[in-house]
Amino acid sequence: MGIAFKSRVTAPQLPSRPAYGDNRTGTHLPPRAGSLNGVIVPEQPGKNAIEVRGVRKVFGTGENQVAALDTVSVSIRENEFFTLLGPSGCGKTTLLRLIAGFDFPSAGEILLHGQDIAPLPPFKRPVNTVFQSYALFPHMTVAQNIGFGLEMLGKPKGEIEARVAQMLKLVKMEALKARRTSQISGGQQQRVALARALAPQPKVLLLDEPLSALDYKLRKEMQIELKRLQHETGITFIFVTHDQEEALTMSDRIAVMSAGKILQVGSPRDIYDRPAERFVADFIGETNFLAGTVVSKKPGVATVKFASNATITAGYPEGFHPSGDVTLVVRPEHADLVPDPAKGTITGTLSNIVYFGTDTHYHVKLDGGDENFIVRHQNSRSNPVIYETGAKVGIQFEEDAARVLKD
Amino acid sequence: MAEPRAIDIKDQPGFRSIAIICLLVLYVPVLILMIFSLNSGSLVTHWEGVTLGWYGSALLNEEFHNAARNTLIISVSATIISTICATLAAIGMTRVKPWRGLAAAFMVINLPLMVPEIITAVATLSFFALIAGTFGLNFGIGNLILAHTVFCIPFAYMPIRARLEDMDLTLEYAAADLYATPWNAFKRITLPLLVPGIMSGAALAFIVSFDDFTITQLVAGPGQTTLPLYIWNQIRRPMTPEINAISTILLLVSILFVSVSFLIARRRAK
């Protein structure tokens, strides 16, 4: 880490590709074992920045015990924008706090570049956090806030000043460096919080729902800004959010969490198109769920029969052995409406048509049961078919648009 | 129908007159005391003319000087010691994991506020008498400093604790996250943000010690006359406006302290 700091400060401009923290090239900045002001410097860089191994976190004692994290394991790669996504109370913030060091796991290991950091206090971990409330020091100026971490690391004054100037430029806050943090807007505070956490060049940057306090437009701006900062600094970002859209648009990979467990880890596309569990399909985007029974099975695909006696063959997630009652999921935009019921994979009656501007939702009550199915059509200047409620329609979808999941 | 919120107490019949009566009862005696400190006659009830002479004679009065010196020594010492104790206690009770006896500790610290002062005074007197009798120990003016420190602690403790509880704990997490050791985090973040609380705690402690009568009266030994005791002794003789002048000086000192502590609190809160 020591070397990394120096090389960064002598650099006249931030490199567009990371010089720091990017050990894939291995040509510069070999991390050395040791410590800087008591902050550990990981010995061997692996390709994983963070490895969480069998981590449990239990709050309370006796009968009041609650497992906030139930034996979670996940690897976060170097240089990755990784998102922990889940509803409130799913354990995502607890996991973040364990990585930051504000809490200690009840069991398990947290490896940073191969070294277990779980027992270390936060001030010995080369990991920095952007807090939901920003937590800027109100008695200091913007520049003093940004320099605080470097100061605590015992950096020389000149180096701190140069680095602070660099960070101010990076987040475009040069003009306001002498202001108190109470004299700047929410969006500006957000930038200062980012600069402050990035200034010590952490191995990993933790972001705890940092955009939730911003209004819609500013949030959109900051999403792009965060991606840019991650790209320019090459630091691994671990981002916590409950906003699925934010997760899909920003992340390299997403871990979907629920009730203290990680349900699925994958790219946004994986998570959206190939959900591993019903919860994942339900939490992210809109989905149609169809109840069915497995009638036959081949490697990778299963044939499912519905209440209406129609059958469809679709893929299923690895590690799942479909049999008996299952659920079939189909995204509304992956299905098509056809006027001739005979041409549909399944059939039903149009019960409702909802116009959304960019697209139209067709609610179909399926034959042979009381299940509902929603089909989403993108609107264009001239829609070829005008449907009317009460009409018998068919619903078509490709095999790979549907997925067989546990009931 | 107006919402309940819309009812303005100012519009209730009699509100204005009750408020005016309260203010008069509170401040008219003080005002009369201050006016008569400028009386050129030697009676505190019969107005003759304006003079600053009583202030002059008060400020030249040797006994007043001694009493003022004693008061300052005791108040300043008690303020410093009690504020330090209160700060440590407040940190120990808000920045640690909840421990058994936390509620009890809180009670013990605040007990002096609830015990009638005369009882504390008698207890303190017997305590010092016991120490003096058993071990032959007498700390002189230290007795008074000790007694004042004890009853000043809860007054200093309250604003400091309130400030600590208002403070965003995330700030301390942020400091630790940015490589500050617990001591550095305290020195650089917690303490500077706590200063307004400490200042108003100290100001309160000073005022309480400065004008304490009951405990001081019982515990004070010969030559340990404080300002309130001095005034009490003067009143038992034929009164002159000099006592009004001295009281006015005390009042102004108190007002000064309260205003300073208020202004500091307001400036910091911005």
Taking the CA of residue A38 and the nearest CA in chain B, the distance in Å comes to 9
- Give Cβ neighbours of residue A72 (< 8 Å, ≥ 6 apart): A52, A54, A55, A56, A91, A95, A108, A260, A261, A262
B173 contact residues in A (CB cutoff 8 A): 100, 102, 122, 129, 131, 135
Residue B79, phi then psi, degrees to nearest 5: -65, -50
Tell me what pLDDT residue B269 has. 55
Indicate if A86 and A145 belong to the same structural domain.
yes
Tell me what pLDDT residue B111 has. 84
Q: Is residue A100 part of a domain?
A: yes
Q: Model confidence at A384, in pLDDT bands (50, 70, 90)?
A: low
Q: Is A161 exposed, middle or buried (0-12, 13-18, 19+ CB in 10 A)?
A: middle
Q: In this prediction, what percent of chain A has a pLDDT beyond 70? A: 88
Q: Is the pLDDT of residue B87 over 90?
A: yes
CB atoms within 10 A of CB A246: 21
Sequence-ordered alpha helix ranges (H) in A54-178:
92-100, 142-152, 157-170
Tell me what pLDDT residue A338 has. 86
CB atoms within 10 A of CB B2: 7
Q: Is the pLDDT of residue A31 over 50?
A: no
H-run or E-run covering A17? none
Domain boundary among A243, A271, A299: A271
pLDDT digits (tens, 9 = 90+) for A297-326: 888 888 888 877 788 888 888 878 888 888
Tokens for A256? 């979907």
Q: Is residue A320 part of a domain?
A: yes
pLDDT digits (tens, 9 = 90+) for A140-151: 999 999 999 999
Q: Is the pLDDT of residue B27 over 90?
A: yes
Distance, in Å, from the CA atom of B149 to the CA atom of B219, rounded to the nearest integer, reads 13
Check which CATH number belongs to the domain holding A64 and give it. Answer: 3.40.50.300
Average pLDDT of the residues in A188-197: 92
| Minimum Cα–Cα distance from B179: chain A residue | A123
Residue B192 at interface with chain A, using a CB cutoff of 8 Å: yes
What's the one-letter identity of residue A265?
A: V
Residue A149 at interface with chain B, using a CB cutoff of 8 Å: yes
Tell me what pLDDT residue A8 has. 37
- The number of folded domains in chain A is 2
Sheet holding A335-338, edge to edge: A335-338, A392-397, A346-355, A359-366, A372-378
Q: Is the pTM for the entire model greater than 0.90?
A: no
Distance, in Å, from the CA atom of A201 to the CA atom of A199, rounded to the nearest integer, reads 5
Query: Which among B177, B181, B189 is the nearest to A137, CB-wise?
Result: B189
Residue A123 at interface with chain B, using a CB cutoff of 8 Å: yes
Tell me what pLDDT residue A217 has. 85
Min mean pLDDT across A43-47, A287-291, B230-234 is at A43-47
Sequence-ordered alpha helix ranges (H) in chain B:
15-36, 53-60, 62-94, 102-114, 117-135, 141-166, 169-177, 182-185, 191-210, 214-219, 227-235, 241-269
Residue A290 at interface with chain B, using a CB cutoff of 8 Å: no
Q: Is the pLDDT of residue A369 over 90?
A: no
Q: Is the pLDDT of residue B129 over 50?
A: yes
How does DSSP classify residue B184? H
Q: Model confidence at A34, in pLDDT bands (50, 70, 90)?
A: low
A180 contact residues in B (CB cutoff 8 A): none
pLDDT digits (tens, 9 = 90+) for B88-97: 999 988 887 7
Domain boundary among A219, A248, A271: A271
ipTM of the complex, rounded to two decimals? 0.76
Q: Which residue has the higher pLDDT, A383 or A55?
A: A55
Average pLDDT taken over every residue of chain A: 83
Indicate if A78 and A196 belong to the same structural domain.
yes
Check which CATH number belongs to the domain holding A375 and give it. Answer: 2.40.50.140
Tokens for A120? 């270390």
Q: Which domain holds residue A309?
A: 286-406
Which of A154-158, A319-323, A335-339 is modeled with the greatest confidence? A154-158
Indicate if A163 and A239 belong to the same structural domain.
yes
Q: Which domains does chain B have, with CATH numbers?
A: 62-269 (1.10.3720.10)
Q: Model confidence at A38, in pLDDT bands (50, 70, 90)?
A: low
Please, are residues A31 and A41 in contact by the beta-carbon 8 Å criterion?
yes
Residue B179 at interface with chain A, using a CB cutoff of 8 Å: yes
